Amino acid sequence: MVPVLFSGEVLGVPVEVRAYGTFLVLAAVVSLAVGVAGARRAGFPPGRIAAIYLGAIVAGLAGARFLDVALQQDAYAAAPQAAAALAPRGFALYGGLGAAIVIVATAIAVGARRGMPAPGVTAAAAFGRLADSAVPAVVAGIVLLRIGCFLNGCCTGVATDLPVGMAFPAGPSAATSFLGIETAEAPVHPTQLYEMAAAVLCGLNRLWGTGLSLESLMELGARLGSDVPALMSGGAVLMEGRGERVRPLACRWTAGMAWWLVVVNPGFGVPTGDVYSRYRTGLTSFAEIFKNASFALEKGDIDLASACLRNSLEEPVFRKYPLLGLLAERLKAAGALGVLLSGSGASLFALARTEEQARAVEECVRCGTGPWLWTRVAQVLPDGVIGSTRPFGG
């Protein structure tokens, strides 16, 4: 890819223009312009909306940094100056999104009391109208951001030998951005392009008023990539077939409920095609277990979920890579509620009831191993989001 767009001297001063930072700024500028134009067509005063959106961008950056600091307190304690750094890293998406929505919603509520966009329009109706008008801006922002990620070689998917796989330069590729290991240009899923495709399909559907249902959009998305439908649905989902059949899960977890994971990777990848070539049985032969697993996810029953963990690919993977089988047994012996191979490997994950239990399992499985073993403790929330107090990369 092209992580550096320009490197040289300008008037005798060394200058380096990086793709990610360039497209991050471009996304902000274009999204602001498109958003203001859409708001004007929806009847909002463009000057006031521009001010609101600029305030939302600033608040979003502050909120994203604040959440990142809260999630990685140890890292920032060791380097407190990083909290004020302007580098395009160290931001947590949901903190920024939440802060921006609060600013916009508050400004619109105040404006509605003063007759914006029109007298008699409630704050809720005004916010909904503005949100609809902002869809093209959001799509433009996502597309430009993901172009930056694609050029930078970051935020990619897991290793694959499918035709859609792309080889990124060794460094900040799939494994370093998500698993913390280097793949030396191994082909990976270009999930930046998948997310772009999902955003464009949803945005065009809304912009052109085609009226396509989410199911129709996901069917179109499946032709672009098996991961696209899940990205279009969002949240916790069940994926069937090759991943193109997606059903959202209505998770009814009580307040404060969360599951803890210990993610383990041995430092090498497993070719997907080779694993499937060694598998001789049907992949979906656990109907009752599948039903119970769905129920466990919806209710937040971690004990039932642990009992339902099944992956038909474990047998051929563990047969060829016995180290993975040994790591799975070690995780179980350490007290994990359940252990499973993730996809075709090589990562494994273990379920734990509390953070303390997860930390103990992590410490136990690392004991006696070398630096080649990568581990992370993460939290699974009911909307399907995974959060970690340490970065997944590095």
* pLDDT averages per 10-residue partition of the chain, 394 residues: 83 86 89 91 90 91 86 80 74 81 92 82 88 88 87 75 70 38 60 84 76 78 75 73 75 72 87 76 66 82 88 88 92 93 87 92 86 84 49 43
Q: What is the pLDDT of residue 283?
A: 52
Handedness of CA 264, 266, 269, 270 (dihedral sign): negative
Q: What is the pLDDT of residue 293?
A: 81
- Matching residue, tokens 């280097």: 182
Q: What is the pLDDT of residue 92?
A: 73
Q: What is the pLDDT of residue 286?
A: 67
List, as own/partner pairs, every contact residues 223-231 make where C-beta atoms lie below 8 angstroms and the sequence separation is at least 24, other chains included.
224/194, 224/197, 225/164, 225/189, 225/193, 225/194, 225/197, 227/157, 227/189, 227/191, 227/194, 228/194, 228/197, 228/198, 228/201, 231/194, 231/195, 231/198
